């Protein structure tokens, strides 16, 4: 190649290709550089101990010579000597460099042209090398080519640095979730659910709380667990704790357990719920990511519902995804999202949408439950619409099991019919 060709190398386009939205495409970078320089082999190496590993390789037709995953001793290849300044980064003809020409690597591989620059991470550590090789001399290679290759190596270092950071973060987060599980840092609080018409306590929703130092909401914890492959384990810990409380609550009350589609499909929920518990359990489907397979989810839910478990879908009125869930899963309970119940008494649009969902519930025999009820005005508006059940801070905040059990006993006592007063001297009908 001539000097002018170096100036038209699409470095801007390559920057885009190496961005984090391009699957960290080091191979594309290698191909672009190799073709531009007229070389036969391009590779990115990584130093591990006293060896260099070929992480990515672009060598069409020469895959039998070198491929990703191969490794060689550092003393055998040029890398260490280039870093030590004993060999130049640019060698248009290796035979013109006596120290390189005398190496076994040169004769074994038939190398005649070589260009190599270090991949230096932002902490100053040399991760490996960005290299190009040809079995023919390349006299047109020059300092501008070397400058271009250094620029690509810098971009490669950014990509590798991001990957290393991501792996470190993944490992740290995985260890953190394992600590939550190992140290039993997850506990359950219960938020009461009432029938609006007569203020009767129907059950509780199980909500997770975490005792660690991080000020994270439960959804952050569960998403973190899902991201590191421990989502089902953490969800099932919450499910198991909830089911343990169920057996201690009055038999007429139910518990709502939150589970993701992935956990349902895994079959773990089906195994955890006993036949005796089924009729007192409501599964609320949560979603950290879109449902990929409604068929598999539906099949798993059918098995669970056959045992008497009811199904709830959350966030109705909050977006298209929740409506899709409702249509696909045909839940027993449709939960109106807090964004819909908030100030519903003063908002015509919220009122109209809630009314439509209430009508839908009647037609499909689905119970409507309003979440996030925080004022008497909201509760009255929901009552007027025909919403059957509700939960929220106005009705009861999430509480520990002991407090929930006291509430259940209190509500049961209040709902008992009072004994008939008998006037002294009056016979009581038998």
- What does each C-alpha distance from 295 to 15, 264, 266, 298, 323 come to in angstroms? 41, 12, 14, 5, 17
Residue 98: which pLDDT band, with cuts at 50, 70 and 90?
very high
| Cα(228)–Cα(374) distance, integer angstroms | 35
Token pair 């999202």 is found at: 337
Q: Are 370 and 333 in contact (CB under 8 A)?
A: no
Please write the tens of the pLDDT for every residue from 106-137. 999 999 999 999 999 999 999 999 999 999 99
Please write the tens of the pLDDT for every residue from 230-259. 999 999 999 999 999 998 999 999 999 999
What is the pLDDT of the chain when averaged over all its residues? 89
Q: What is the pTM of this model?
A: 0.79
- What pLDDT does 289 receive? 58
- What pLDDT does 321 receive? 57
Q: Are 188 and 401 in contact (CB under 8 A)?
A: yes
- What pLDDT does 5 receive? 43
| Cα(52)–Cα(79) distance, integer angstroms | 8
Residue 424: which pLDDT band, with cuts at 50, 70 and 90?
very low
The answer on pLDDT for 21 being more than 70 is: no
Helices (H), 21-71: 26-37
Q: Which of 183-192, 325-334, 355-364 has the lowest mean pLDDT?
A: 325-334
Residue 418: which pLDDT band, with cuts at 50, 70 and 90?
very low
- What pLDDT does 287 receive? 65
150: number of Cβ within 10 Å: 14
The answer on pLDDT for 430 being more than 50 is: no
Domains observed in the chain = 3-165 (3.30.450.40), 184-415 (3.20.20.450)
Token pair 């980064």 is found at: 89
The answer on pLDDT for 4 being more than 60 is: no
Q: Are 401 and 248 in contact (CB under 8 A)?
A: yes
Q: Are 121 and 127 in contact (CB under 8 A)?
A: yes
Q: What DSSP line would sit under 370-385, residue for residue?
A: E----SHHHHHHHHHH
| Cα(163)–Cα(175) distance, integer angstroms | 18
Please write the tens of the pLDDT for every residue from 80-90. 999 999 999 99
Residue 323: which pLDDT band, with cuts at 50, 70 and 90?
confident
Query: Once rounded to an integer, what is the mean pLDDT over residues 338-354?
Result: 93
**Which pair of tokens denotes residue 177?**
């979730």
Q: Which of 176-185, 244-253, 279-288, 420-429 has the lowest mean pLDDT?
A: 420-429
Please write the tens of the pLDDT for every residue from 280-320. 999 999 865 568 788 999 999 999 999 999 999 986 655 55
Say what the alpha-carbon torsion angle 104, 107, 108, 112 is, to the nearest 10 degrees: 120
- What pLDDT does 24 receive? 52
| 228 phi and psi angles, rounded to 5 deg | -105, 15
The answer on pLDDT for 144 being more than 90 is: yes
């Amino acid at each position: 190649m001539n000097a002018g060709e170096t100036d038209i190398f699409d470095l801007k386009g390559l920057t885009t290709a190496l961005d984090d939205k391009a699957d960290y495409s080091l191979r594309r970078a290698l191909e672009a550089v190799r073709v531009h320089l007229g070389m036969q082999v391009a590779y990115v190496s990584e130093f591990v101990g006293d060896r260099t590993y070929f992480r990515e390789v672009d060598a069409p037709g020469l895959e039998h010579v070198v491929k990703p995953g191969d490794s060689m001793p550092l003393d055998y290849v040029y890398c260490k000597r280039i870093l030590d300044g004993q060999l130049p980064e640019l060698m248009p003809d290796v035979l013109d460099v006596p120290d390189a020409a005398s190496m076994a690597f040169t004769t074994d591989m038939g190398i005649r042209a070589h260009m190599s620059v270090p991949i230096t991470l932002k902490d100053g550590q040399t991760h490996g090398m960005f290299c190009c090789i040809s079995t023919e001399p390349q006299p047109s290679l020059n300092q501008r080519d070397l400058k271009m290759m250094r620029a690509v190596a810098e971009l490669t270092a950014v990509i590798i640095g991001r990957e290393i950071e991501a792996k470190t973060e993944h490992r740290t987060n995985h260890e953190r979730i394992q600590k939550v599980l190992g140290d039993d840092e997850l506990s359950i609080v219960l938020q009461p659910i009432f029938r609006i018409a007569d203020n009767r306590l129907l059950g509780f929703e199980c909500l997770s709380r975490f005792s660690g130092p991080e000020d994270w909401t439960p959804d952050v914890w569960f998403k973190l667990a899902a991201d590191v492959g421990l989502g089902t384990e953490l969800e099932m810990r919450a499910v198991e704790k909830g089911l343990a409380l169920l057996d201690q609550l009055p038999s007429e009350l139910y518990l709502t357990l939150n589970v993701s589609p992935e956990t349902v499909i895994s079959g773990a929920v089906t195994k955890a719920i006993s036949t005796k518990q089924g009729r007192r359990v409501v599964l609320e489907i949560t979603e950290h990511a879109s449902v990929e397979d409604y068929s598999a989810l539906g099949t798993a839910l059918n098995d669970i519902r056959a045992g008497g478990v009811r199904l709830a879908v959350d966030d109705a009125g909050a977006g298209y995804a929740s409506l899709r869930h409702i249509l696909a899963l045909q839940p027993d309970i449709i939960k109106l999202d807090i964004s819909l119940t908030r100030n519903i008494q003063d908002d015509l649009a919220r009122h109209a949408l809630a009314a439509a969902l209430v009508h839908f519930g009647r037609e499909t025999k689905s119970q409507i439950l309003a979440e996030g009820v925080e004022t008497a005005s909201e509760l009255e508006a929901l009552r007027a619409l025909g919403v059957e059940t509700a939960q929220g801070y106005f009705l009861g905040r999430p509480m520990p099991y002991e407090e929930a059990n006291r509430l259940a006993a209190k509500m049961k006592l209040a709902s008992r019919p009072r004994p008939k007063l008998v006037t002294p001297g009056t016979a009581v009908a038998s």
